[in-house]
Amino acid sequence: MTSAVTDTQSANPLRDAGVAQADRVVALAAKAKSASVSIAAATLSEIEACDACLARNDLATILAAQPAADLKSLAPTLVSKTQDSAKDADKDSPHVSTSRFVKAACIRAIFALPETDRPAAAAAWKPVMLKTTSVPGKMAWDPKEFAVAPNAIVAIEMVNPDSMQHNMLVCSPGSLSEIGVAADKLGEGAIGKQRQYVPDSPKVLEIMGLTAPNTTGVLWFIAPAKAGTYPLVCTYPGHWRMMNGKLKVQ
Ligand SMILES: [Cu+2]
């Protein structure tokens, strides 16, 4: 389960939401140095230990941003991680299945390599690349509904030309208002900002962290195995009622 963070604790750069990526990289570099491995290798081991931590999409982003030479030397390991998750393959929720998240992170890292450097196994992976935009001043996404197949490899890109920050969470079916109300409550305390207004709930399946104005966020994940309508929601306080959408798994 996610480490409990109180208002008096400093954030754990390897686990918590709201930590600047540069600070995460510093923490990962220290870890890599003590283990005499590359930052890419240290990041992968952190990802494997991450379970449902709030930093996981950030960690996957950092892994994918490592130098091509480091990713290339790690490629056989990355491929093996995509193949050893059979025992978790039928679980519905990535939140309770580390391997689904590890797999998505490894696939994402391999797709960060130039095509000619990718291992042969990557030819069989067909990520579904989705894109949406935060409509300026409207607290809305356009488009706001997507459909994917069960277990599809999905990347959602959110372009944010708005003057406000937005995040995007994928949640369990039927949990939109529960997550939204919890997010608004988080917004009332100091801890909310530290957690990037992400409620600590097993119904939060995937997290794209806060995306600043005029930047683009990206979220890679393996779609749930179970068909259904999974709410997409921005949990910046006050946004959820308008800024939500649907991921239909069918
Ligand atoms: Cu928002």
- pLDDT tens digits for 12-49? 888 887 788 889 999 999 999 999 999 999 999 999 88
Q: Pick from 124, 147, 172: which residue ends a domain? A: 124
Instruction: Tell me, yes or no, whether 27 and 120 share the same domain.
Output: yes
* 190 vs 88, more confident: 190
When comparing pLDDT for 101 and 217, which is higher? 217
Q: How far is the CA of 137 from the centre of ligand 1 (A)?
A: 10
Is the confidence at residue 200, as pLDDT, over 90?
no
Distance CA 214, CA 138 (A): 15
- Single pTM value for the model: 0.85
Last residue of a domain, one of 79, 100, 124: 124
What is the dihedral angle through the alpha carbons of 165, 1, 191, 164, rounded to the nearest 10 degrees? 0
Find all residues with CB under 8 Å of 69, minimum gap 6, and list them.
none
Q: How far is the CA of 70 from the centre of ligand 1 (A)?
A: 35
Burial class, 119, CB count within 10 angstroms (exposed 0-12 / middle 13-18 / buried 19+) = middle
- 152 and 119 together in one domain: no
- Ligand 1 centre to CA of 138 (Å) is 9
| 8 Å CB contact between 52 and 99 | no
50-64, 86-100, 139-153 — most confident range: 139-153
What is the CA(225)–ligand 1 centre distance, in A? 27
Question: Kind of pairing, strands 204-211 and 215-222?
Answer: unpaired
The amino acid occupying position 40 is A
- Selected residue with higher pLDDT from 201 and 178: 178
The rounded Å distance from CA 234 to ligand 1 centre is: 5
Count the Cβ atoms, other than its own, within 10 Å of residue 186.
Answer: 20
What residues have CB less than 8 Å from 46, skipping those under 6 apart? 14, 28, 31, 59
* In the predicted structure, residue 4 carries a pLDDT above the cut 60: no
Instruction: Give 171 Cα–ligand 1 centroid separation in angstroms.
Output: 15
Q: Average pLDDT in the 197-221 region?
A: 92
Burial of residue 54, with CB atoms counted within 10 A of its CB: 0-12 exposed, 13-18 middle, 19 or more buried: buried
> Is residue 98 a part of any domain in this protein?
yes
Please report, for residues 18, 131, 159, 198, 235, the alpha-carbon distance to residue 242 in angstroms, rounded to integers and kept in the order given. Answer: 23, 19, 17, 17, 11
Across residues 108-127, what is the average pLDDT? 92
Residue 209 pLDDT grade (very low, low, confident, very high; cuts 50, 70, 90): confident
Cα 193 from Cα 186, distance rounded (Å): 8
Q: Please give the distance, rounded to the nearest whole angstrom, from the Cα atom of residue 136 to the centre of ligand 1.
A: 10
Rounded Cα–Cα distance for residues 22 and 224 (Å): 31
Domain containing 114 equals 21-124
Ligand 1 centroid from CA 58, angstroms: 18
Nearest alpha carbon to residue 94 among 65, 53, 126: 53
Q: Are 104 and 148 within one domain?
A: no
- The residue among 66, 95, 124 that closes a domain is 124
- With respect to residue 40, please indicate whether it lies within any of the assigned structural domains: yes
Q: Are residues 148 and 106 in the same domain?
A: no
Asked if pLDDT for residue 1 goes beyond 80, the answer is no
Residue 142 Cα to ligand 1 midpoint, Å, equals 13
Mean residue pLDDT of the chain comes to: 88
pLDDT of residue 84: 57
Provide the domain count of the chain: 2
Is 16 contained in some domain? no
> Widest CA span of the chain, in angstroms?
50
Distance from the alpha carbon of residue 218 to the mean position of ligand 1, in angstroms? 15
**CA neighbours within 13 Å on the CB side: how many for 104?**
29
Assign residue 199 the CATH number of its domain: 2.60.40.420
141 CA to middle of ligand 1, Å? 9
Taking the centre of ligand 1 as the mean of its atom positions, its distance from the CA of residue 130, in whole angstroms, is 18
* 104 and 184 assigned to the same domain: no
